[in-house]
């Protein structure tokens, strides 16, 4: 197939412009972002704060008290910085409401958890970079899918899966406790 003069220009130019615009948007979207500057290096898999947060989440599920787990949830400020929405408060409030509901559902879905003993928290082994522009993001960030909260009930090992965690400036937080819809 042979393309003549204007056909090459007409075919390639839209693609070149899209690639150029994507590069510009990535640079502009992350240049001034404190979160992007904090999350550029890969965050550590876990630390003492992560273990303490997981223990509080476990206690929240055991007691059926979602407020105990809220400190482990994605902070409002981080959500506002990450999402490219005009007013981040309504979607954040919905996400927080789902998290609180999920804490209560986890108690129902894990019989005997109220008698359980926390064993450990295992962050998912793979960290993925969520690029700018994906999932309505104005900056990129690191994410982990399917971390494991390990506990025992009457000496028998059990696992509660934490569906999605993201790095909030060097601290891992939960954005989705259970599968999301």
Rounded to the nearest integer, the mean pLDDT of the chain is 81
pLDDT higher than threshold 70 for residue 88: yes
> Is the same domain home to 6 and 49?
no
Q: What's the domain range around 10?
A: 1-31
Q: CA–CA separation, 118 vs 158, rounded Å?
A: 10
Q: Tell whether 150 is covered by a domain.
A: yes
Phi and psi at residue 83, in whole multiples of 5°?
-85, 140
172 and 99 in one domain?
A: yes
State the pLDDT at residue 43. Answer: 65
- Statement to judge: residues 67 and 131 lie in one domain: yes
Together in a domain, 165 and 131: yes
Domain identity same for 42 and 127:
yes
Euclidean distance between CA atoms 132 and 111, whole angstroms: 40
Helix (H, G, I), strand (E, B) or coil at 168: coil
Q: What is the pTM of this model?
A: 0.73
Q: What is the pLDDT of residues 27-55, one digit of tens each?
A: 444 444 445 444 456 666 666 789 999 99
Residue 46 pLDDT: 64
The total of structural domains in the chain comes to: 2
In a domain, 3, yes or no: yes
């Amino acid at each position: 197939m042979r393309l003549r003069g204007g056909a090459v220009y007409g075919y390639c130019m839209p693609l070149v412009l899209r690639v150029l615009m994507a590069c510009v948007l990535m640079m502009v979207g992350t240049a001034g972002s404190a979160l992007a500057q904090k999350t550029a290096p890969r965050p550590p898999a876990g630390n003492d704060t992560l273990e303490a947060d997981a223990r509080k989440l476990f206690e929240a599920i055991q007691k059926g008290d979602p407020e105990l787990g809220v400190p482990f949830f994605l902070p409002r400020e981080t959500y506002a910085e990450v999402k490219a929405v005009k007013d981040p408060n309504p979607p954040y409030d919905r996400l927080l409401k789902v998290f609180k509901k999920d804490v209560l559902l986890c108690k129902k879905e894990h019989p005997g958890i109220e008698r359980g003993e926390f064993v450990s928290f295992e962050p998912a082994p793979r960290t993925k970079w969520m690029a700018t522009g994906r999932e309505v993001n104005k900056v990129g960030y690191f994410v982990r899918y399917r971390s494991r909260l390990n506990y025992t009930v009457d000496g028998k090992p059990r696992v509660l899966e934490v569906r999605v965690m993201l790095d909030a400036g060097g601290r891992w937080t939960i954005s989705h406790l259970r599968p999301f819809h």
